[in-house]
């Protein structure tokens, strides 16, 4: 897909070298609803703007969307546009949060030995180096900390350059740590000097073998890689240094829909590929965006054409104000089967449920009770003896299940599950229905 900024009155006289400049994109990002109104003047009905403004007042992420993303949206069909849906919610599409939702759904803060660091897997840490991004995705799993406060979520301040030294000391003091994911926020918002400083510091730690820099800029602000030469050179210098030390540094990015792949993205990938940069993609399965097999197959194929490795497709985490994005585990399992085989296995993503104990394959549930939309996953290496639930959206449940969540508490429903006391044909996964085995399973509270 291409992008056309000249259909907007506010930008119609801009030359390509202006619109395609990363600094200009940053300076002209829309962060207030009134900016959306002035930008879309003459393109959309006032009712649509009212819907978006009302939606933004009810969600956990603040507004930040750059002109490039605005130019990708089909404003003649905005209500159904998959890109608009990710960044500018409409009130009419929002749903009530699931009763089992918690703000930090992956329990990152409880796995944080020091500010800015999450240590969940034995040999890997997540290093949160910034709380800002080029744009703000409405389904962000880290909405508890990323962006500015909203009426729904008051942010935790866990990322700061002041925390870096303590985090580096922790990594240095734990020789089992081999893998560091540098994220946030988005590393595209770091200064070039900070990218180099942080990369050099991590590479000096002998037992650190792999670094992953996480940035959505490849998809939402590709001009970052074409016009911010100092930042790109800092990143490439870290990669070159790693190669010289027989270590690995790669980029992790985030495309959700084929319409996000533009000629500008191809230019970026040709430059990165020429320099030997490995890029992996982590998509999120989003209702109304990519929750059909044809869209996912197209996305995966087009990423493959650009040498972006389709790594993961996550089920959308249980985050405040995002229930309308989520799909059931059964639908994710079905989509995985419909995608697998469309291209080579190494270029086929894993479909993942993320839990407080890490990522689990959607087909690996210990049990799945579709009446209540509850599946349970274990992670023996990370959290032996514990189990973690994924809850389907209530809209996906049969009527009996929907009524149960309206009338009963989570504790009551869990007690019923422990007893294996079901009537009717309750679908289970996997077979068989072993009440004794289930009763012994340590369900989370």
C-alpha span between 157 and 229 (Å, rounded) = 30
- The closest alpha carbon to 390, from 379, 400, 406, belongs to 379
* pLDDT for residue 337 is more than 90: yes
**207: pLDDT confidence band, cut at 50, 70 and 90?**
very high
Mean pLDDT (whole number) for 187-207: 97
How far, rounded to the nearest angstrom, does the alpha carbon of residue 85 sit from its chain's CA centroid?
14
Q: Taking 60 as the threshold, does the pLDDT of residue 330 lie above it?
A: yes
What band does 281 get if pLDDT is binned at 50, 70 and 90? very high
> φ, ψ for residue 279 (rounded to 5)?
-125, 130
Q: What's the average model confidence in pLDDT over 344-373? A: 93
Comparing 101-105, 118-122, 292-296, 311-315, the range with the smallest average pLDDT is 101-105
CB-side neighbour CA atoms (13 Å) of 256: 23
Q: Is the confidence at residue 440, as pLDDT, over 90?
A: no
Mean pLDDT of 266-277: 98
β-bridge pairing 387-391 and 374-378: antiparallel
| Banded pLDDT at 384 (limits 50, 70, 90) | very high
pTM: 0.91
Among 85-99, 101-115, 333-347, the least confident range: 101-115
Per-residue pLDDT for 49 more than 60?
yes
Query: Does 445 have pLDDT greater than 50?
Result: no
> Between 2.40.30.210, 3.20.20.70, 1.10.1060.10, 3.40.1650.10, what CATH number should domain 109-360 receive?
3.20.20.70
Query: How far apart are the C-alpha atoms of 224 and 22, rounded to whole Å?
Result: 5
Quick one: average pLDDT of 369-391? 92
Interatomic CA distance for residues 175 and 92, integer angstroms: 51
Residue 443 CA to residue 445 CA, distance in Å, equals 6
Q: What is the DSSP string of 34-93?
A: HHHHHHTTTTS-HHHHHHHHHHHTTSSS---B-HHHHHHS-GGGGGG-HHHHHHS--GGG
Poorest-pLDDT segment among 50-54, 220-224, 409-413, 422-426 = 422-426
What's the DSSP call for residue 432? -
What pLDDT shows up at residue 238?
98
Beta bridge partners of 182: 127, 213
pLDDT on residue 170? 97
When pLDDT is averaged across residues 26-51 and rounded to a whole number, the result is: 93
What pLDDT does 428 receive? Answer: 45
Please say if the pLDDT value at position 202 is more than 60.
yes
C-alpha neighbours within 13 Å on the C-beta side of residue 6: 6
Which residue spans of the chain are classified as CATH 3.20.20.70?
109-360
When pLDDT is cut at 50, 70 and 90, the band that residue 134 belongs to is very high
H/E stretch holding 290 reads none
Average pLDDT value for residue range 367-395: 93
pLDDT band at 153 (very low <50, low <70, confident <90, very high): low
Give the C-alpha separation, 158 to 396, whole Å.
Answer: 35
- Each residue of 227-255: pLDDT tens digit? 999 999 999 999 999 999 999 999 999 99
Whole-number Å distance between alpha carbons of 280 and 276: 13
Containing 283, the helix (H) or strand (E) segment is strand 279-285
For residue 154, pLDDT over 70 is answered with: no
For residue 434, is pLDDT > 50?
no
Asked which of 99-108, 175-184, 198-207, 335-344 is least confident by mean pLDDT, the reply is 99-108
Average pLDDT over residues 102-124: 85
Q: What is the pLDDT, as a whole number, of residue 416?
A: 80
pLDDT-based confidence at 42, cuts 50/70/90?
confident
The mean pLDDT of 380-409, rounded to a whole number, is 93
pLDDT at 421: 53
Mean pLDDT for 298-309 is 98
* pLDDT reported for residue 237: 98
**What tokens appear for 128 in the block?**
């949160």
Mean pLDDT score of the chain:
90
Model pLDDT, residue 190 = 95
Which pLDDT band holds residue 300 (cuts at 50, 70, 90)? very high
């Amino acid at each position: 897909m291409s992008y056309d900024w000249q259909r907007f009155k506010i930008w119609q006289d801009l030359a390509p070298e202006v619109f395609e400049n990363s600094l200009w994109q940053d300076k002209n990002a829309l962060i207030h609803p009134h900016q959306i109104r002035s930008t879309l003047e003459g393109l959309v009905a006032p009712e649509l703007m009212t819907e978006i403004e009302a939606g933004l007042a009810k969600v956990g992420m603040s507004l930040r969307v750059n002109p490039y993303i605005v130019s990708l949206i089909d404003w003649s069909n905005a209500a159904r546009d998959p890109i608009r849906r990710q960044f500018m919610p409409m009130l009419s599409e929002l749903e009530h949060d699931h009763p089992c939702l918690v703000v930090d759904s992956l329990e990152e803060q409880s796995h944080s030995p020091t500010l800015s660091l999450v240590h969940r897997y034995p040999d890997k840490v997540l290093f949160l180096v910034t709380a800002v991004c080029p744009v703000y995705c409405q389904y962000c799993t880290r909405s508890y900390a990323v962006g500015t406060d909203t009426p729904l979520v008051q942010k935790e301040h866990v990322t700061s350059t002041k925390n870096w030294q303590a985090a580096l000391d922790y990594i240095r003091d734990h020789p089992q740590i081999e893998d560091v994911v540098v994220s946030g926020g988005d590393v595209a918002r770091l200064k070039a000097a900070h990218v180099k400083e942080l990369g050099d510091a991590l590479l000096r730690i002998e037992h650190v073998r792999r670094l992953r820099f996480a940035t959505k800029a490849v998809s939402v602000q590709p001009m970052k890689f074409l016009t911010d030469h100092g930042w790109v050179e800092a990143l490439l210098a870290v990669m070159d240094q790693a190669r010289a030390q027989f270590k690995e540094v790669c980029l992790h990015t985030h495309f959700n829909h084929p319409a996000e792949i533009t000629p500008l993205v191809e230019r970026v990938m040709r430059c990165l590929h020429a320099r030997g940069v490995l890029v992996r993609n982590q998509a999120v399965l989003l209702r109304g965006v990519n929750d059909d097999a044809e869209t996912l197959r197209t996305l995966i194929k087009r990423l493959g054409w650009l040498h972006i490795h389709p790594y993961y497709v996550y089920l959308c985490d249980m985050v405040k104000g995002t229930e309308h994005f989520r799909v059931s585990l059964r639908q994710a399992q079905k989509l995985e089967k419909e995608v697998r085989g469309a291209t080579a296995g190494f270029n086929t993503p894993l479909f993942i449920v993320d839990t407080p104990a890490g990522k689990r394959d959607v087909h690996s549930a210990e049990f799945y009770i579709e009446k209540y939309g509850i599946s349970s996953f274990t992670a023996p290496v990370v959290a032996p003896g514990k189990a973690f639930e994924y809850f389907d959206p209530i809209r996906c449940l049969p009527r009996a299940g929907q009524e149960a969540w309206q009338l009963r508490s989570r504790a009551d429903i869990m007690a019923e599950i422990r007893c294996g006391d079901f009537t009717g044909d309750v679908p289970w996964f996997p077979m068989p229905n072993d009440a004794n085995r289930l009763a012994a399973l340590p369900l989370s509270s």
